[in-house]
Amino acid sequence: MKEPQQQAEACIIWMHGLGADASDMMGLVEQLSVEDLALRHIFLDAPTRPVTLNNGLVMRAWYDIVGMQLTDRQDREGIEQSRALIRQVFQDQLNAGNDQIFLAGFSQGGAMALYTALNMQTPVAGVIALSAYLPLANSIKPELAKKTPIFMGSGQYDPIVLPLWSKQSVAWLIDAGYSELTSHTYLMEHSICTEEIRDLSHWLKTQVKGEQE
């Protein structure tokens, strides 16, 4: 956890990508230009589990991935287990008096941020999904408020989370009525770039303080 020096205005719960750990998201947060915001950052570690795609190697993963196709990334049991874990951390922050809570993540962690938020009736301050996609899209009946701000960033040359998957997820969200969706595509592969950090920093300032360009 990273605490602000003064009372937190908002809280961001971060989920890392497959095979990484919480330190990945700590590094990303260090790059954000949000010094004027009092943000509490909570960095979650995914459970360890065998990942079929990686020859059954045990690693930190929010859910199993069987193959390279999007339909191979639909481990419902693992996704639901991780959703419950993330939801509990969210509830703990609510109970502690934080009412402006963001769910955020990169790759598999971003997928979990989207999926967890969409299945919540409790107000969410915003969702950040970087180089991610929406899993189990065909079975979701979204409960999340339609005015919830969502930031999605993707790489135009991403070989891991294909650009088509991100586009399909954006289209799904628009069709579902999420009108406060901000989507950017960057000239990168499966990573984070300077432009994305800049755009995300501005988006966060807008959501927390209502600042406009």
For the annotated catalytic residues, the residue numbers are 107, 158, 190
Beta pairing class for 48-51 and 57-60: antiparallel
Q: Give the strand order in the sheet containing 181-186.
A: 39-44, 10-15, 101-106, 126-130, 150-155, 181-186
- Tell me how far apart the alpha carbons of residues 109 and 61 are, in angstroms, rounded to a whole number: 9
CB 75 within 8 A of CB 33: no
> How far is 137 from 178, CA to CA, in rounded Å?
14
Q: Report d(CA 83, CA 138) in Å as an integer.
A: 17
Widest distance between CA atoms in the chain: 48
Q: Is 197 helix (H, G, I), strand (E, B) or coil?
A: helix
SS3 of residue 167 by DSSP = helix
Name the 3-class secondary structure at 185.
strand
